[in-house]
Amino acid sequence: MQNIVRTRSARIGATVAAMVLLVAVVLYLGHAKGFGAIQYVQLVLDGIRGGSIYALIALGFVVVFNVTGIINFAQGGFVMSGAMLAVAFNNLDLPLPPALQLALAVVFGVAGTTVIGALVERLTIFPARHSHTLTLIIITVGVYIFMQGMALLVWGANAYNLPAFSSLALEDQILRSGGIMLKAQSLWIWGTLAVVLVGLYFFFERTILGKALRACAINRRAAELMGINPSRMSLLSFAMAAALGAIGGVVLSPATRPIYDMGLKLGLKGFIAAIMGGMVSSPGAVVGGILLGVLENVAAGVTRAGFKDIFAFVVLILILLFRPQGIIGGGERGVEQ
Amino acid sequence: MKKTAFTALTMIALLALLVGGCGTPVPTAAPTTPPPPEATTPPEATTPPEPVIGTTYKLGFFSSITGPTSSLGVPERNTAEMIAAQLEEAGGVTGPDGVIHPIEVIIYDDESNPEIAATVASRLIEEDEVDAIVGGSGSGPSLAVVPLMQEAEIPYVSMASSRSIIRNPETAETYKWCFKTPQENFHSGGWQAAYVEGMGWDQVCDIYSNDGYGQDCLAQTTAAMTEKGIEVSYSDSFEPADTEFPQIASVVASGCDALVIGAVPPGAALVTVAAREGAPDLPVVLGHGVCNATMISAAGEAAEGTVFPCGKMMYADGLPDDDPQKELLLKYREDYMAFTGEGPEGLSTFGGHAYDGLLWVVEAMGSLEEGLDVTARRAAIRDYIETNITDWPGTGGVFNVTPEDHLGLTYEALGFVKVENGTWVYFPPEEW
């Protein structure tokens, strides 16, 4: 008992020391570049925005992993498909007021991708459901490559635009205060994340279907014995993951330029965020995503932006080495399992 | 049994998806094989007056039809197809001995990827056995194929701007077989420095794309600025897929007077938008790589007021009548729009780079006598370009290719423009 306490306090001490060192290094590098408080606040704000998108994507990874044990690398494809479908719909020449058309485009992007997610499960995962998990994971990699290829065929290699939700134009409204700027789209992104989290909470806690999903996650065999059909749950988890990814892609679109290959990097970042959160925990995925976004953006800001992805992957390696159960919580199931 | 049925169903569904996707017009990597009927070598002695059809010449072409630099590669590919169609209509080129040679233009896609560029170049050299190659939308793919061309001894005209394509950066030796047609970041850098100096600024920041083109932009901008005593106080790269731009915080903190962006759209547009959001009052100076409609459509309002050097293609109708390039530029614009069915928004200087390079090679092919083998033809085409492209008005400028300079352009090749109300406006030094 004492031993455990001692190792735990040693571990906390080491973590605190590492964090102090990290902050010191960041401040030192920032000082060399002439950063003031404004720059740090700006970097953190932008990081939270990017991180919120990672969080939405990570939630999709968690839902599928919990129910099926699969790491779904097609998740990035769902992000791209949500964004591209919304753009395609919004670019249609319809006699609708722009706000309504954009709203419908968002719904179309998310709904269309949800259907794609369900199709992916039925057409690729379901037929191979008796295979080893590793086989299924590789199938999802194949699905991603297929989706990216299809997007290239349909939309070509051009970068597209989706108007900002507030201004309904290419240029977003920008809130400025004391040298800090905040895009209105950031507020949409955070609002969306909050609504999604509340929605997921009610779904998992208050509905039979949500409880069935959780039962599947806790013990698949026992859930099956209770009359829950695991293949239906698998279908549901993929559809949900697709919807979550698409929501991320759609709200992100006005802040970037959607393009057929945007899913790869976003998918990988979402995966890192999910790993940071322990792969099984939804709150963990959200914290992981935001933490990753901030870390990445601040680190890139004080060093060189070209190193951004290096930081993300260093985080991935460190987490897998030292905290495979995730940063928060002592999740008893993790990727090590 | 049930499983088989399901697999079959899956296959059908996937096929349906594929077919559905293929319905839309899409750039493909498939080689277009236009004119030649059978390349029949005529019986030699018994050929009096009627036109004689000689060997079919092969002209290899590759550009970035897909991938991040496709905004360059697509108009280049269109131009190559246009020239192939014009050659087919004319039946080919006539040599000095009166023999007509059909020209087959073989087109590949390098997917904006240097490795794939090397693969398609090898294919053109070894399998298609072409007489000359025009290709490479970006500096990355072009630099990747230079060693191949040098080794195989193939005349090669690049459509990318880096000086290292035609000159070894370490030994400063001109590559014997490599030429290029675009104005260069070196010229762009000169304009940028002149503008910054003209505005009385003494400190600039530079953000460049993390590829061969962007790095060359940074190097040339820095060299030109340093020469005029202007400091590049901060520089950093970005990736075209970036969603956040932490660089802007550093730009603001560094307190520079202007931001120079070394990239092509859509990346350049993303940085321009980010700069306008994070530092709305900071002037933005771009390079000549943004002279196409993609920049304005992708950056929208943020492009307003940005300035950059730009080839004369985009505002050819505004040039004085005695400009040696005007007639050719107007002809190219007209032909291009008629061929592609696009409006003026489809025009870009990049298509012009392809046009110049292809016309050099076609003109060189027209100088060949019948009866040369492929090695001799390759050598003769190279020699022709090096010695005969003098006072040669092209879309990119008036070329004077020499053994030392395989580009042959001066400053006058570029003009300087400003974006106003969503279009380019000529912005000469008098108006600064």
| pLDDT tens-digit readout, A217-239 | 888 888 889 889 988 999 999 99
Please answer whether residues A271 and A61 qualify as being in contact, where contact means their C-beta atoms are separated by less than 8 angstroms: yes
A49 and chain B in contact, CB less than 8 A: yes
The rounded distance, in Å, linking the Cα atoms of A303 and B247 is 9
Out of A34, A152, A153, closest to residue B254 by CB: A34
A60 and chain B in contact, CB less than 8 A: no
Highest mean pLDDT among A52-61, A154-163, A259-268, B303-312: A52-61
The rounded distance, in Å, linking the Cα atoms of A157 and A261 is 8
The rounded distance, in Å, linking the Cα atoms of A259 and B112 is 15
What is the length of chain B?
432
Alpha carbon A191 to chain centroid distance?
Answer: 15
A–B: how many Cβ contacts below 8 A?
124
A31 and chain B in contact, CB less than 8 A: no
Q: How near does any CA of chain A get to the CA of B406, in Å?
A: 32
Mean pLDDT, 10 residues at a time, chain B of 432 residues:
48 45 41 47 54 90 89 93 95 91 95 94 95 93 95 95 88 94 88 94 94 88 94 90 86 92 88 90 91 79 91 81 88 94 85 95 94 93 95 92 91 84 84 84
Out of A46, A127, A154, closest to residue B246 by CB: A46
B24 and chain A in contact, CB less than 8 A: yes
Determine the pLDDT at residue A237.
Answer: 95
Helix and strand numbers, DSSP H then E, in chain B: 12, 17
Please answer whether residues A249 and A304 qualify as being in contact, where contact means their C-beta atoms are separated by less than 8 angstroms: no
B window 90-149, beta carbon within 8 A of A = 112
pLDDT digits (tens, 9 = 90+) for A191-211: 999 999 999 999 999 999 999
Burial B67-84 (b: 16+ CB within 10 A, else e): bbbbbbbbbbbbbbbbbb
- Could you tell me the two tokens for A41? 């606040």
- Could you tell me the two tokens for B102? 């059909």
Determine the pLDDT at residue B17.
Answer: 46
Q: How near does any CA of chain B get to the CA of A292, in Å?
A: 13
B window 204-243, beta carbon within 8 A of A = 210, 234, 236-239, 241-243
Cβ-based contacts of B24 with chain A (< 8 Å): 153-154
Q: Hunting for tokens 């051009």 — which residue is that?
A: A158
**pLDDT grade for A7, boundaries at 50, 70 and 90:** confident
Number of neighbouring beta carbons within 10 Å of residue A171? 17
- Coarse DSSP helix, strand, coil percentages of chain A, rounded to the nearest 5 percent: 75, 0, 25
Whether the pLDDT of residue A252 is over 50: the answer is: yes
Better-predicted residue by pLDDT, A7 or B263: B263
C-alpha distances (whole Å) from B185 to each of A100, B193, B308 are 45, 12, 12
Q: How near does any CA of chain A get to the CA of B218, in Å?
A: 14
Number of neighbouring beta carbons within 10 Å of residue A10? 10
Mean of the per-residue pLDDT values for chain A? 90
A window 205-264, beta carbon within 8 A of B = 252, 255-257, 259, 261-262
In a mutational test of the B interface, the residue from A153, A231, A266, A296 whose CB has the highest number of chain B CBs within 10 Å is A153
Cβ–Cβ gap A33/B236 under 8 Å: no
- Could you tell me the two tokens for B337? 């729009």
Element (H, E) at A101: helix A98-120
Please answer whether residues B232 and B225 qualify as being in contact, where contact means their C-beta atoms are separated by less than 8 angstroms: yes
R_g over Cα of chain A: 21
A34 and chain B in contact, CB less than 8 A: yes
Cβ–Cβ gap B27/A156 under 8 Å: yes
B174 and chain A in contact, CB less than 8 A: no
B window 31-70, beta carbon within 8 A of A = 66-68, 70
Reported in sequence order, the residue ranges of B193-267 that DSSP labels E, i.e. its strands, are 203-209, 231-238, 258-262
Please answer whether residues A284 and A335 qualify as being in contact, where contact means their C-beta atoms are separated by less than 8 angstroms: no
CB half-sphere exposure, B382, CA atoms < 13 A: 20
> Which residues, in sequence order, are bridge partners of residue B158?
B135, B180
A128 and chain B in contact, CB less than 8 A: no
Fill in the amino acid letter for B140.
Answer: G
A158 and chain B in contact, CB less than 8 A: yes
For helices A37-68 and A208-218, angle between their N-to-C axes, nearest 10 degrees: 80
Please answer whether residues B254 and B272 qualify as being in contact, where contact means their C-beta atoms are separated by less than 8 angstroms: no
What is the pTM assigned to this prediction? 0.74
In a mutational test of the A interface, the residue from B250, B270, B281, B301 whose CB has the highest number of chain A CBs within 10 Å is B250
A41 and chain B in contact, CB less than 8 A: no
Cβ-based contacts of B252 with chain A (< 8 Å): 38-39, 179
Q: Strand B52-53 to strand B99-101: parallel, antiparallel, or no bridges (unpaired)?
A: parallel
Element (H, E) at B61: strand B57-63
Determine the pLDDT at residue B244.
Answer: 86
Cβ-based contacts of A169 with chain B (< 8 Å): 300-301
Reported in sequence order, the residue ranges of B152-238 that DSSP labels E, i.e. its strands, are 156-158, 178-180, 203-209, 231-238
> Which residues, in sequence order, are bridge partners of residue B134?
B61, B157
The rounded distance, in Å, linking the Cα atoms of B135 and B76 is 9
Q: How near does any CA of chain B get to the CA of A305, in Å?
A: 6
Cβ-based contacts of A156 with chain B (< 8 Å): 26-27, 66, 70
Determine the pLDDT at residue A270.
Answer: 95
Please answer whether residues B202 and B255 qualify as being in contact, where contact means their C-beta atoms are separated by less than 8 angstroms: no
A window 295-314, beta carbon within 8 A of B = 297-298, 300-301, 304-306, 308-309
- Could you tell me the two tokens for A206? 């208050």
Q: Residue A164 phi/psi, 5° resolution?
A: -65, 145
Q: How near does any CA of chain A get to the CA of B277, in Å?
A: 7
Q: Strand B258-262 to strand B57-63: parallel, antiparallel, or no bridges (unpaired)?
A: unpaired
Q: Name every residue whose Cβ is closer than 8 Å to that of residue A265 and which is 6 or more positions away in sequence.
A: A76, A309, B241
Please answer whether residues B39 and B111 qualify as being in contact, where contact means their C-beta atoms are separated by less than 8 angstroms: no
